[in-house]
Amino acid sequence: MIGRIVSAAFGFLVIKIMTPYLGPLRYGDYSTILKYFAIWSALADLGLYVLAVKRLGKMKNNEKTMATQE
């Protein structure tokens, strides 16, 4: 909860600083590029984090197996 608030506040601060510095047109380009990065990172993940957590949770003796996996 606190992390989301800090993240939102930081995002708002960046907008307030970047908009006058870049101007409307360049800030629009900057925003578009950031959105593309967000979309591509979400597509690249495709739930791999959830899958890894599930598999690690099913393993027995996690400390030993995680240390010996290559």
- pLDDT tens digits for range 15-25: 898 889 899 89
d(CA 1, CA 52): 24
- Record the pTM: 0.53
Provide the pLDDT confidence category of residue 69 given band limits of 50, 70 and 90.
low
Sign of torsion, CA 47 53 55 57? negative
Provide the pLDDT confidence category of residue 36 given band limits of 50, 70 and 90.
very high
